[in-house]
Amino acid sequence: MADTSLFTIFMEGVFIKNFLLIQFLGLCSFVGVTKDVKSAAGMSGAVVFVMTMSSTASYLLYTYLLVPLKMEFLSLISFIVVIAALVQLVEFVVRKNIPSLYRSLGIYLPLISTNCAVLGAVLLNVRSDYGFAQSVLFGFAAGLGYTIVMLMMSAIRERSTLVNIPSAIKGLPQAFLIALMLSMAFVNYFWVIPI
């Protein structure tokens, strides 16, 4: 088990190893679902939820099944299976018991089941040799970092519909330019602050 403090893991997950702007994972949703703040918030909520859940499940799977059998090389494919199944299961339960939550998360949950950011968080947990609490916290923090960036990006894109933008870069190119500036800010800002 790695002896990194929980606070460090939290700050790493949210800022220093930010999934969208520093590791460039989960970019499809970063560009696809940030047209308005509301859907970005819905997507982010679902990601936080799924990342925490899948970090928990995959830690248990890895530590109690794959490591004792010396089958660590199977981690990638078995994580995919477990995450997809977990998302599906959660969808069933939420749909039955909390229909209002299902309606707001509904379309985003299946999107996430194969999201690379979720798998990335799980694999980073394994690679960093995190313990149970550390894994769960890192999953949650990574989701939180994702949320922050999604909200920033969607707010900027929503505002920028009111501005005159050259037609050549309207739409996706403009989103990429915004992403570039956000990313530069994130990398440089958190590079110089030692945590």
Partner 1 sequence: MNLNTLLIQSVAILGGLGLAVGVMLIVASRKFKVETNPLVDEIMSILPGANCGACGYAGCSDFAQRVVDDDAPIDGCPVGGFDVAKQIGGLMGQELTEGEREYPFVLCNGGVNCIDRFEYVGMEDCKAVMMLSDGEKGCNFGCMGRGTCVRACPFGAISIGEDKLPHINKNICTSCGLCISACPNGILVFAKESERVYIKCRSHDKGKDVKAACTVGCIACKICEKNCPVQAITVTDFLAEIDQSKCTACGICVEKCPQHTIELRGVP
Size of the site for partner 1 (CB under 8 A): 25
Residue among 103, 173, 176, 185 that touches partner 1 (CB under 8 A)? 103
Greatest CA separation for the chain:
60
Nearer to partner 1 (CB atom), residue 17 or residue 157: 157
Residue among 22, 27, 41, 74 that touches partner 1 (CB under 8 A)? 74
| Two tokens, residue 83 | 């995450």
Angle between helices 37-61 and 116-127 (to 10 degrees): 40
Residue among 92, 176, 189, 191 that touches partner 1 (CB under 8 A)? 92
Question: How many C-alpha atoms does 145 have within 13 Å on its Cβ side?
Answer: 31
Q: Which of residues 159-178 bind partner 1 (CB under 8 A)?
A: 161-162
Distance in Å, CB of 38 to partner 1, minimum: 8
Let me know: does 55 contact 122? Beta carbons within 8 Å. yes
Q: Which stretch binds partner 1 (CB under 8 A): 2-10, 21-29, 63-71, 108-116?
A: 63-71
Q: How far apart are CA 141 and CA 13, in angstroms?
A: 5
Q: How far apart are CA 67 and CA 127, in angstroms?
A: 13
The residues that touch partner 1, with contacts defined as CB under 8 A, are: 36, 65-66, 69-71, 74, 77-78, 81-82, 85, 88-89, 92-93, 95-97, 99, 103, 107, 158, 161-162
